[in-house]
Structure 1
Amino acid sequence: MSAEMSGGERMVHITISGAPGSGTSTLVSKIRESTGWESLNGGEVFRAEATRRGLPVVEFSELCKTDLDVDRSLDTLLRDAMTRENGPQIIESRLSGWWAHELEIDCHRVWIATSDEERARRVQNREGGSFEERLAESSARQSADKERYRILYGIDLDDMTPYNLVVDANDLSADDVFTIVSAAIQGE
């Protein structure tokens, strides 16, 4: 299952989505290593823009809520990359599965599902801080982002309709998640 344009040019093969801390970046790295595919990471694009503006991610997320054009421009970049001739084969962002679904791109659309607590634990292990702080930050960011996507696009992040593979990663290692997704890729 991979998208091809009329001239045989390859488009995106797989989208990887999940809430911050769910393990999407780790999964993308593993897929890149095993396939040699190129990727575009929506979180990196988002964080780079926050840094360029001199804002912490939480504040930049708040800015995106009030200045919807900022978010739209970042999302347009991702959507354009999905259909660009010889673009990246892997697109990672919270809405990439939605975009592929809406653009009718025949590709794997993966959602990595994790609880608030599991995401907070993973972020705490990666970045430090107390579990309670990480849980509060994660919950606040997820809530703000859900509202922003609802306002911007009418998308409910809890709706799994666009995804053809949802992986409950709460009790799985990064390698376990990769094994499941890799099997789906190989079963094309």
Structure 2
Amino acid sequence: MRITISGPPGSGTTTVARKLAEKLGFPMISAGEIFRRLAREHGMSLEEFSRYAENNPDIDNLVDQRQKEEAMRHENAVVEGRLSGWMVPAELKVWIYADEEVRYQRIARREKKPLEVVKAETRLREEIEKRRYLKIYGIDIEDKRLYHLMINSGRFNAEQIVEIILRAVELIGDEEQDNSKEKL
């Protein structure tokens, strides 16, 4: 089973994906890690690389193609990234979200930066990404209709979110078993 985990910066997608992959014994494939690696390889900050990528669609295509190829090599995988739900065929697509202030505070703690700096950088990053995704792929990142499950990480912690997803995985397994019995 492939499971995609998507959400805005600071919503906790990486933490949840890592914990979920560990619990299930699945590999974790992260678009963010691929993007960050490319930023480092280019000697740029994440914000600089986001701006660079806005004018160089090959970067997005490379990240998304690498992630999809890696995911498709595995029958079972947890695939994490903003566009993973759009790019990777999966039996379960999850969107994790949180209030902006919660997300900004998380990012500020993680990156050890002042809150006001994080707010400005994150707003800019999200606006750049929104324009890029629409321009390159015709994807409106605010359209959540493709997701099977949406979870507020401001209400539930990472372990609780993993439990919710595991229950959804169980329910999907039960449904698949029921469907296979009907075919007999």
TM-score range, shorter chain: 0.7 to 0.9
Alignment correspondent of 1:59: 48
Asked if residue 17 in structure 1 is aligned to residue 6 in structure 2, the reply is yes
Matched residue pairs, number? 172
Alignment correspondent of 1:71: 60
Gaps of 5+ in 2: 173-184
Given that 2:29 and 2:71 are in contact with CA atoms closer than 8 Å, whether structure 1 keeps it comes out as no
Distance of 2:46 and 2:158 partners within structure 1: 24
Measured after TM superposition, the shift of residue 50 of structure 1 is 0.5
Alignment correspondent of 1:184: 168
Q: After superposition, what is the alpha-carbon deviation per residue over 1:105-138, rounded to whole angstroms, capped at 9, x for unaligned? A: 3511001012221110111122222221111111
Asked if residue 118 in structure 1 is aligned to residue 137 in structure 2, the reply is no
Measured after TM superposition, the shift of residue 187 of structure 1 is 2.0
Kindly provide the amino acid, as one letter, of the partner of residue 124 in structure 1. A
Distance of 1:186 and 1:48 partners within structure 2: 34
Distance of 2:99 and 2:138 partners within structure 1: 23
Which range is displaced more, 74-83 or 153-162?
A: 74-83
Given that 1:39 and 1:88 are in contact with CA atoms closer than 8 Å, whether structure 2 keeps it comes out as no
Alignment correspondent of 2:83: 95
SS of aligned partner of 2:94: strand
Larger radius of gyration between Structure 1 and Structure 2: 2
Asked if residue 152 in structure 1 is aligned to residue 136 in structure 2, the reply is yes
Distance of 2:137 and 2:36 partners within structure 1: 21
Judging by fraction of residues, say which structure has more helix. Answer: 2
Kindly provide the amino acid, as one letter, of the partner of residue 48 in structure 1. R
Gaps of 5+ in 1: 3-12
Measured after TM superposition, the shift of residue 88 of structure 1 is 5.9
Alignment correspondent of 1:39: 28
Measured after TM superposition, the shift of residue 87 of structure 1 is 6.1
Measured after TM superposition, the shift of residue 171 of structure 1 is 2.4
TM-score (norm 2): 0.87
SS of aligned partner of 1:176: helix
Asked if residue 127 in structure 1 is aligned to residue 111 in structure 2, the reply is yes
Distance of 1:139 and 1:177 partners within structure 2: 25
Asked if residue 108 in structure 1 is aligned to residue 92 in structure 2, the reply is yes
Alignment correspondent of 2:181: none
SS of aligned partner of 1:187: helix
Distance of 1:79 and 1:142 partners within structure 2: 22
| Greater than 4 Å deviation, 4+ residue runs | none
Distance of 1:87 and 1:39 partners within structure 2: 12
